[in-house]
Amino acid sequence: MNARAIFAIVRKDLKVASQNKNILIMTIVLTVVFFVVFPWLTALIPLAGDSITGLEKILSYIPANIQKDFAGLSLTQAMMVYVLKYMLVPFFLMLPLMVASTIAADSFAGEKERKTMEALLYTPTTDRELFVAKSLSGWLAAMAVTAVGFVLYLVMANAAAWPQMQHIILPDGMWLVLVLWAAPAVAGMGVGAMVLASSRAQGFQDASQLGGLVVLPVIALFYIQMAGVLFFDIIVVILMGFVMWLLAGLLIWLGSRTFQRGRLLGA
């Protein structure tokens, strides 16, 4: 493969994305809401009434291997640990998924809207190199934002929990596996789905609508955990990441098999 040509396209895509106000606003809003607002809401909203009953019910479902995190804690402390270490895991995964999906949606559909598709198609790259470059752009951007978001979340979550806990609660082994294993997988899944959709769409909005279903599995994880059916630990995160890597590989394989640059001008 022509690595120089691939990374030239990647640099161009990342530069365009960094100048796109919609992408920048979406990324900033998601980062602030998930990693600043949510942790401090957990610290500032007191437990009362139904929320106490609901928390007690959830804690009764927690597996024995996770119970150690809640041993000897008050209900307020248990609520902080549960929300910051467990409940917000799906929201953390939402960041790389949505960043990767948004940039991937802009990869081909945005070129059509900007009237730069024809020039792109005549670059000295093969179909596979062009597909790899477009996929890599979204994935690398998602990983960069995830790294920044993770550091920000560690600071905010520990600062919000400190008055009650009096010690640092994050990161732990599960969160490190989440960041290093599951987050790259979910970003790859988003890229695979959205590049596949983007190469067939007429514009950015069309691509976003076609690929929007990719967020549903992550949203489902939140409700499954709230229902007490599943709780995140290292083993669950490893298995979840493995499934997501399989889905990402399948979507990217389908995209590379069906991608033909000659069809893009007429899509």
**By C-alpha distance, which of 112, 119, 131 is closest to 253?**
131
Residue indicated by tokens 């920044």: 148
Provide block-wise average pLDDT over 10 residues at a time, the chain (267 residues). 83 85 88 92 70 73 84 87 91 90 75 66 76 88 94 96 93 95 94 73 57 75 82 92 93 78 56
pLDDT of residue 106: 75
Cα four-point dihedral sign 181, 183, 184, 189: positive
The DSSP output letter for 182 is I
pLDDT of residue 109: 67
pLDDT of residue 118: 62
Q: What span, in angstroms and rounded, lies between the C-alpha atoms of 185 and 177?
A: 11
pLDDT of residue 47: 59
Residue indicated by tokens 């890597």: 245
pLDDT of residue 33: 92
Q: In 3-state terms, what secondary structure has residue 2?
A: coil
CA 229 to chain centre: 22
**By C-alpha distance, which of 238, 239, 247 is closest to 216?**
247
Query: The whole model's pTM is what?
Result: 0.87
